[in-house]
Structure 1
């Protein structure tokens, strides 16, 4: 099953070990190492597996498999016998004394063909070579046990590795990009200094600090003036209308945006038995189901009159983006922890198990979205104490209906993609419901004294976005000749994000995280036109430069008040509307940050049917806040950014060009280009240093080749290569200060010089992103980092015949690196030191400790 839950009890082991449970399982495993000599067998090749109960005598080597390993992955099983059934003469009869043990029927002895490496392996039971299911009578979770062949190898550290969490997110300084003149820059710098150095409060003009601030403000003002002057020369700075600024920016290949609407996840709970209600998504003719924020107390389902009142009170309107059929049993889904207690879904989890009592989840399917949330405090048990930040939406990628044979319960195994991985730890145990308080949870929940889950999953989840649809607005008549620029009567016009294919608002195959993420270049105005007589449709576009003469496409140019004018083609770039017909406009209003409402703000929906819906709907809520709403780009921002858009390199000719455009890929840290003649043509080899040290495999090479294709020079072939990693071999002698444990100091040194992210947010010295092509490894930096570790008195790195110190490339003789104080790298080489005992060829680091306790 793999590690799915992190539990603080062993209840399932107790249930399996109980007499009469009908199941058996693995209790623990021992590797015969130091004691093997006394028995006359090879060390680390014999495994003793203890079970809770007596074993059937039919278990053989075909029922045992060993998985895992880093360097040695193919560890086979030579033989496997119950302890009292080992054939006479095996290993010279060494087992005859052991077979007399009273618990010999509970032991399985396994002989392997190799000793494995330093990594973790797993021994698992199976029915046969072709069937990996555990044998009959064995509990599935306890038919597998992890172990290591090197458990008795000497070590000075704790055997349990520390859990390392992700680094805390950093906070970027607040920068006002609209600051343009000397006074504003001076105020901005002084405000920033007040935050980072609150003890400095001098504001006298004669003070040196104030003088330096004014010098920098003067330089910033000079640069701002230069930018304004360049924009004025291009006529962009003189433009005052938003439409004019947009067109000037388009000439500079800058896509000015008009903001974007917000999105939110909404859950709907209905009364028992009220299945079959469907929340309709948008079509070409009708909008999606309408949801509204709370203004004053009122019903959960609004009719036409109540909708008008809510709109007059300022309620924000959201509309669903897809169809959802509501099931009352999906209102609250409980987790199954396989009989264990004090269990949590760990951070980064992509799978869980749900209870399927009475086949309640039979409608659960791949593609549906569930919302995982903490509904009660794990300590107090109160609803009001639950952490509202522990809520997360996931889109199901796999749904498996199965059962827990031990507890006789139907369950559903669910999985979701890595993009939706849980960003926090979610507690799953049950707590006792306390007595209500003055600010208590109210009615509808479990009674005091009953047990209720800390966290649940919510179904009936629908994605909604901000904006209300206006139907069938008749536009001005089309003139026979001349320009036709009709204006929409209402605003602000909604600007909605699109999926990467550009045709839908959301991709149902994408993750829940992807549904809340889009590029501003993919945002389109939510307006649709239809000819009143011919019923031909017109679709929105950002520009008509790519439109054909028969393309019925329109551009909505939004002004500062949010209302839009519509621009059509001229029968060359886009078709012109016929003068004999009238256009009907259907569009949405509502845009920008007004849609970024908080959690629990959306609580009502509109349905014209009224009665049945009003009685059936129990609750409408958005557990997570709406996000994504952005204000239209200001004219000042366009004037600053647009003049620089055309300066971006859009072609690659030289080796430096290919390296520069390759670094634009979000997964590339650095790149080096190499132009070579390959016999009949030139080939550009791009060597890539991928972020995080991830491999440059075939999938990544194909994606990067596609990314570079539009920059490639015609007639040149393109190949992506991995860098040449140079493993290092470093050994230093460290003297420990009195009062410090040498083992603790060594553990701290290994952490500082590791290749991973550290718990305090720093990176290890040999993190893959710390080194790139041709970057040497300086001995002075290594010594400085070691001396900064608490407890280190001094460090000796001298290479001499009487000392074990080394500072060189792994597997090579010294080239005088210690004398020069650095290990040099060639143009395509990158230093590497993983310090993995199973793969020493990836770099090795050791410290010879002296002194201390």
Structure 2
């Protein structure tokens, strides 16, 4: 008999289960692989599970198995309730032990599963067809036992349920009944109003008698509810389609991910840095400012507001509310009273200046105020690595502080410190030096001037006394923009994505070293302020409450291992960040129910580029002692480095071109082009040579500013080129071949001009120095590079521009004093050719240093004039 119904619900099962006395079959289980562990033959034992306990009298006469294709006569050899297993040999010892274990579990849990399970042993295993097991009242009866539901007294099953199959076990689908004509649908309907109109029009067709349009009506309310849901779904579909492409995406996170697929790192800006000097009283000698750690921020500074110089927690919060920007120190610092103002020593000379480009100076080392036997600077508190700030504090002309030039302030990091004495003047002095990258960009006057009597408000020097024009400031601390906060994140959910969002923004982006905020003590002061936004990471750390494990941020999880506790902070346009974790394949996923706390900083972009003298407050939780000790807090130089997040529009333009930029070097030209991407390289030339056992690529570099290609620079450039290097090739950085020149010209001076003045102007025009007005001397190192010839016409044109020059004679011929050739070599007809040619790796050089004529020399033979 075929099936009467095809039902998609199990309502009758629930009714039988809820009935007080009616029983029925819940499911049937065929023991296949599990039978071997019980010492039974596979596919010959059936466990029939019912809803309620079975009668103890059920046996093989009450079970019937019908069906099959090839094997139709499947007999029942044994049937018993699971908790009433017969002895050996009808059952095995392992089988009885299993039934006993299940019975003990029922007693412990208060269940009756063994009483509800009928064990059926068949005479053989069937074929792959479907069989039907039925519970009957007796051997010859066709009706179910008493209190058994007839439809649920039988169950279809197959003996091969555990056999492998490549098909789904779902029953075949029946063809659907032919449907009527589809209603007309307007696919241009996309918003709430059009959906509402569409639904009302459809209802007017199917229920013309319903004409209610009152918003309070239940039917109208349901229509509007469905229109709202359809409108939201339509918006979601449009948003997904919009965010799927770089050209149409509106969310910053979507644009960032699209750009990453093109290997374009979209940056979220960067915070600003500044140098802050702290002047302390003599009683505060040796006081320490804390540096940042994984759990605590560095010393906190704030821009000027109406508040005391040293702030407590309440005053700091009030300052932030009033609009103050907060900065935090990047390193620990020890404050010394005598380092707040250090005077230069000029060895008894007057009207002295530190010239532009200076990299050394002499400082006076006076005795300490409270202990004359102790000096202000000692080998313990004044060492290489410290930063000094050189500044003009008074006008050299008027002697007033307000007339001092604010642009004459410069920070240097000391590379050499030598304690010595001036025996003639019986003074202790300190010789200091700094690197060429921190070379003084202006001339700094060092003499003393008298303080005007009407000067008021100046505490460092009383009126009427002599005071230095320029001083050096110690106690210099590098700070960066951003304030540290700590928030508790939502508990990790068991299912779904865990994407918590930070409560505050904008999230600070800082440059890091080894994943932590740090400052390289060997880097120059100029390098400490360079913070490329492309290399910045968000200033945030996560910590698990119980285990204390720390999670660190990364720009991407594509390089993270399955056990890497790393995450990505994706910043949106409002500056707030949402955190994205791994999936236990690329990065670890937080365990469920783990409580995480986020320590992060807020403050980013150009808002941190505050001007000089803007930072004037220091936060201290100590209170009164610090307020008396801190005399002054200031930033003589403006903060710099703050960059706004890269705009979505800019990424849309730049990202498609990013993958076109070559990120590997194969040929000589490739290495030259890649080397020129380094900010210190003006031009480079590659040369591939066989060095005996392998190929070596020699990269010859013309360094900007004429700086030498020394070992330190070679190491930095080699590390820069390493990621572009072709495997199997060695890499070596070489200095160029400098070609010294020997040039002499005869110059006729116009009447009314002093020949000496004209010659001085000519020497300046053909020098290697930076000239006033941003001009360069003709032989400045950056004016010539590899293979670039020196043209005679350019020399003549430059000389003729000098006031007082009437004409110039340059002919290089025997018997004439003029020269236009390479130094130390015979002429090669350079004057006739009009140029001094250079080879591929050669660079012209003319320093005109009398002490080193081998670096080129220049002479002028002056005629006429006064």
Quickly name the TM-score band, shorter chain normalised.
Answer: 0.5 to 0.7
After superposition, the Cα gap between the structure-2 partners of 1:715 and 1:343, relative to the gap in structure 1 and judged at 3 Å, is: closer
The equivalences for 1:638-787 within 5 A come to 638-678=651-691, 680-696=693-709, 700-787=713-800
Question: What SS does the corresponding residue of 1:269 show, helix, strand or coil?
Answer: strand
Q: Greater CA deviation, 326-335 or 278-287?
A: 326-335
Give the distance between the partners of 1:683 and 1:469, measured in 2 at CA.
Answer: 49
1:254 aligned to 2:264? yes
Match of 1:478 among 474, 488, 492: 492
Equivalent residue number for residue 577 of structure 2? 564
Give the distance between the partners of 1:844 and 1:409, measured in 2 at CA.
Answer: 41
Q: How far 1:565 sits from its partner (Å)?
A: 0.1
1:32-63 CA-partner distances (Å, limit 9, x unpaired): xxxxxxxxxxxxxxxxxxxxxxxxxxxxxxxx
Give the distance between the partners of 2:847 and 2:524, measured in 1 at CA.
Answer: 33
After superposition, the Cα gap between the structure-2 partners of 1:409 and 1:315, relative to the gap in structure 1 and judged at 3 Å, is: same
The equivalences for 1:507-656 within 5 A come to 507-656=520-669
The equivalences for 1:112-191 within 5 A come to none
Match of 2:292 among 282, 286, 289: 282
Match of 2:365 among 347, 355, 366: 355
Match of 1:490 among 492, 495, 504: 504
After superposition, the Cα gap between the structure-2 partners of 1:630 and 1:721, relative to the gap in structure 1 and judged at 3 Å, is: closer
1:153-174 CA-partner distances (Å, limit 9, x unpaired): xxxxxxxxxxxxxxxxxxxxxx
Q: How far 1:523 sits from its partner (Å)?
A: 1.4
After superposition, the Cα gap between the structure-2 partners of 1:686 and 1:599, relative to the gap in structure 1 and judged at 3 Å, is: closer
Give the distance between the partners of 1:326 and 1:338, measured in 2 at CA.
Answer: 28
Equivalent residue number for residue 390 of structure 2? 372
Give the distance between the partners of 2:727 and 2:863, measured in 1 at CA.
Answer: 63
Equivalent residue number for residue 402 of structure 2? 384
1:463 aligned to 2:463? no
1:113-136 CA-partner distances (Å, limit 9, x unpaired): xxxxxxxxxxxxxxxxxxxxxxxx
Residue segments in structure 1 that go unaligned for 5+ positions in a row = 1-231
After superposition, the Cα gap between the structure-2 partners of 1:423 and 1:752, relative to the gap in structure 1 and judged at 3 Å, is: closer
Q: How far 1:284 sits from its partner (Å)?
A: 1.8
Question: What SS does the corresponding residue of 1:572 show, helix, strand or coil?
Answer: coil
Q: How far 1:539 sits from its partner (Å)?
A: 1.0
1:625-653 CA-partner distances (Å, limit 9, x unpaired): 22222211111222222222222222222
Judge conservation of contact 1:730–1:805 (CA < 8 Å) in 2: yes
Residue segments in structure 2 that go unaligned for 5+ positions in a row = 1-241
After superposition, the Cα gap between the structure-2 partners of 1:263 and 1:725, relative to the gap in structure 1 and judged at 3 Å, is: closer
1:303 aligned to 2:312? yes
After superposition, the Cα gap between the structure-2 partners of 1:488 and 1:612, relative to the gap in structure 1 and judged at 3 Å, is: same
TM-score (norm 1): 0.66
Question: What SS does the corresponding residue of 2:618 show, helix, strand or coil?
Answer: strand
Equivalent residue number for residue 223 of structure 1? none
1:283-339 CA-partner distances (Å, limit 9, x unpaired): 22222222222222x322233333332232222222222223333343333344444
After superposition, the Cα gap between the structure-2 partners of 1:623 and 1:800, relative to the gap in structure 1 and judged at 3 Å, is: closer
Q: How far 1:486 sits from its partner (Å)?
A: 0.6
Judge conservation of contact 1:354–1:414 (CA < 8 Å) in 2: no
After superposition, the Cα gap between the structure-2 partners of 1:819 and 1:451, relative to the gap in structure 1 and judged at 3 Å, is: closer
Give the distance between the partners of 1:451 and 1:754, measured in 2 at CA.
Answer: 38
Q: How far 1:846 sits from its partner (Å)?
A: 4.6
1:424 aligned to 2:437? no
Question: What SS does the corresponding residue of 1:435 show, helix, strand or coil?
Answer: coil
1:732-752 CA-partner distances (Å, limit 9, x unpaired): 554444444455545544444
| RMSD of aligned Cα (Å) | 3.3
Give the distance between the partners of 1:320 and 1:541, measured in 2 at CA.
Answer: 23
After superposition, the Cα gap between the structure-2 partners of 1:839 and 1:454, relative to the gap in structure 1 and judged at 3 Å, is: closer
After superposition, the Cα gap between the structure-2 partners of 1:705 and 1:798, relative to the gap in structure 1 and judged at 3 Å, is: same
Give the distance between the partners of 2:429 and 2:593, measured in 1 at CA.
Answer: 64
Give the distance between the partners of 2:243 and 2:838, measured in 1 at CA.
Answer: 48
Give the distance between the partners of 1:428 and 1:391, measured in 2 at CA.
Answer: 13
Equivalent residue number for residue 119 of structure 2? none
Judge conservation of contact 2:510–2:517 (CA < 8 Å) in 1: no
Equivalent residue number for residue 53 of structure 2? none
1:335-354 CA-partner distances (Å, limit 9, x unpaired): 44444444444432423212
Equivalent residue number for residue 125 of structure 1? none
Q: How far 1:273 sits from its partner (Å)?
A: 1.9
Judge conservation of contact 2:768–2:847 (CA < 8 Å) in 1: yes
Judge conservation of contact 1:787–1:794 (CA < 8 Å) in 2: yes
Equivalent residue number for residue 334 of structure 1? 343
Give the distance between the partners of 1:420 and 1:621, measured in 2 at CA.
Answer: 21
Judge conservation of contact 1:327–1:460 (CA < 8 Å) in 2: yes
Q: How far 1:574 sits from its partner (Å)?
A: 0.9
Question: What SS does the corresponding residue of 2:283 show, helix, strand or coil?
Answer: coil
Judge conservation of contact 1:430–1:453 (CA < 8 Å) in 2: yes
Q: Greater CA deviation, 244-253 or 768-777?
A: 768-777
Judge conservation of contact 2:270–2:532 (CA < 8 Å) in 1: no
Q: How far 1:487 sits from its partner (Å)?
A: 0.3
Q: How far 1:250 sits from its partner (Å)?
A: 1.5
Q: How far 1:712 sits from its partner (Å)?
A: 2.8
Equivalent residue number for residue 119 of structure 1? none
Question: What SS does the corresponding residue of 2:342 show, helix, strand or coil?
Answer: coil
Judge conservation of contact 1:787–1:795 (CA < 8 Å) in 2: yes
Question: What SS does the corresponding residue of 2:437 show, helix, strand or coil?
Answer: helix
Give the distance between the partners of 2:425 and 2:859, measured in 1 at CA.
Answer: 50
Judge conservation of contact 1:364–1:399 (CA < 8 Å) in 2: no
Judge conservation of contact 2:686–2:699 (CA < 8 Å) in 1: yes
Give the distance between the partners of 2:348 and 2:821, measured in 1 at CA.
Answer: 54
Judge conservation of contact 2:331–2:518 (CA < 8 Å) in 1: no
Judge conservation of contact 2:274–2:479 (CA < 8 Å) in 1: yes
1:124-152 CA-partner distances (Å, limit 9, x unpaired): xxxxxxxxxxxxxxxxxxxxxxxxxxxxx
Judge conservation of contact 2:270–2:536 (CA < 8 Å) in 1: yes
Match of 2:301 among 284, 291, 299: 291
1:424-466 CA-partner distances (Å, limit 9, x unpaired): 33333433332336xx326x45443333333333333322222
Question: What SS does the corresponding residue of 1:782 show, helix, strand or coil?
Answer: helix
Larger radius of gyration: 2
Q: How far 1:560 sits from its partner (Å)?
A: 0.6
Q: How far 1:789 sits from its partner (Å)?
A: 3.6
Equivalent residue number for residue 215 of structure 2? none
Q: How far 1:843 sits from its partner (Å)?
A: 4.8
After superposition, the Cα gap between the structure-2 partners of 1:668 and 1:513, relative to the gap in structure 1 and judged at 3 Å, is: closer
After superposition, the Cα gap between the structure-2 partners of 1:333 and 1:246, relative to the gap in structure 1 and judged at 3 Å, is: same
Judge conservation of contact 1:478–1:577 (CA < 8 Å) in 2: yes
Question: What SS does the corresponding residue of 1:273 show, helix, strand or coil?
Answer: helix
Question: What SS does the corresponding residue of 2:389 show, helix, strand or coil?
Answer: strand
Equivalent residue number for residue 268 of structure 1? 278
1:265-289 CA-partner distances (Å, limit 9, x unpaired): 2233334423454322222222222
Give the distance between the partners of 1:396 and 1:697, measured in 2 at CA.
Answer: 19
1:729-787 CA-partner distances (Å, limit 9, x unpaired): 55555444444445554554444444544445433434443333343444433343344
Q: How far 1:581 sits from its partner (Å)?
A: 0.9
Equivalent residue number for residue 163 of structure 1? none
